[in-house]
C-alpha cells in the first residue's frame, strides 16, 4: 500500500519523534514519520535503498516497535527536495513535500511524461 500523498492535509499530527512530526491516519491504524520527507512505516520494507541515495543523509535505520526495521527521516529538515528517494523506493513508502505550484511539473517529470 503506497503512502497517502495527502497525509499532510488528511492525517492527524499527534506528536514528535527524533525531531520530526508523527502523523496518524484518520482510523488510527497507520502512521507516517516526517513532514518534508514523509515515510509510511507500514509500506517500508527496510530495503535501505533510500539511505545511501539521499545526498543530505535524511534517513536512518530504525527498529520500530510496531514495524520492525524501517527508515526514519531523522534529518527531515535537511531535505533539499531532490526526489531521489521517491524514485529509488520500491514500495512508494516516501512522499516529499512539493513546493507550492511545483507538484504537477515534478510529478510529470517523475513519470517521464
Ligand atoms: S528528496 Fe532528496 S534530499 Fe530529500 S529526503 Fe529524498 S533523497 Fe533526501
Ligand atoms: S527505499 Fe522505501 S522501502 Fe526501502 S527503506 Fe527506504 S522507505 Fe523503506
Residue at 65 is within a domain: yes
Residue at 28 is within a domain: yes
Residue at 60 is within a domain: yes
CA–centroid distance, 10 to ligand 2, in Å, is 22
Residue among 31, 30, 19, 72 at smallest CA distance from 50: 72
| pLDDT score of 113 | 63
- SS3 label, residue 86: helix
Would the pTM count as exceeding 0.75? yes
Measured by CA distance, the residue closest to atom 8 of ligand 1 is: 54
Tell me what the pLDDT averaged over the chain comes to: 94
| Burial of residue 111, with CB atoms counted within 10 A of its CB: 0-12 exposed, 13-18 middle, 19 or more buried | exposed
Residue at 107 is within a domain: yes
Residue at 1 is within a domain: no
Residue at 35 is within a domain: yes
| pLDDT score of 111 | 76
Number of residues that make up the chain:
113
Residue at 2 is within a domain: no
Q: CB–CB of 71/43 below 8 Å? A: no
Pocket test for ligand 1, best of 32, 37, 51 (most atoms within 8 A of CB): 37
pLDDT, tens digit, for every residue of 18-27?
999 999 999 9
The ligand whose atoms approach the alpha carbon of 85 most closely is 1
50 lines ligand 2 (CB under 6 A): yes
Residue 43 sits in a domain whose CATH number is: 3.30.70.20
Domain count within the chain: 1
Question: Which residues constitute the domain of residue 97?
Answer: 7-111
pLDDT, tens digit, for every residue of 70-109?
999 999 999 999 999 999 999 999 999 988 777 777 777 7
Cβ neighbors of 9 (< 8 A, separation 6 or more) are: none
Percentage of the chain lying above the pLDDT 90 cut? 85
Amino acid at each position: 500500500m503506497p503512502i497517502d500523498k495527502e497525509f499532510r492535509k488528511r492525517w492527524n499530527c499527534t506528536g514528535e519523534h527524533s525531531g520530526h512530526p508523527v502523523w496518524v491516519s484518520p482510523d488510527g491504524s497507520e502512521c507516517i514519520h516526517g513532514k518534508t520527507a514523509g515515510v509510511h512505516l507500514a509500506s517500508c520494507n527496510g530495503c535501505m535503498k533510500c539511505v545511501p541515495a539521499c545526498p543530505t543523509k535524511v534517513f536512518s535505520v530504525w527498529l520500530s516497535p510496531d514495524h520492525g526495521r524501517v527508515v526514519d527521516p531523522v534529518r527531515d529538515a535537511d531535505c533539499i527536495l531532490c526526489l531521489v528517494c521517491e524514485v529509488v523506493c520500491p514500495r512508494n513508502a516516501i512522499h516529499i513535500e512539493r513546493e507550492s505550484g511545483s507538484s504537477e511539473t515534478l510529478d510529470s517529470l517523475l513519470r517521464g511524461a
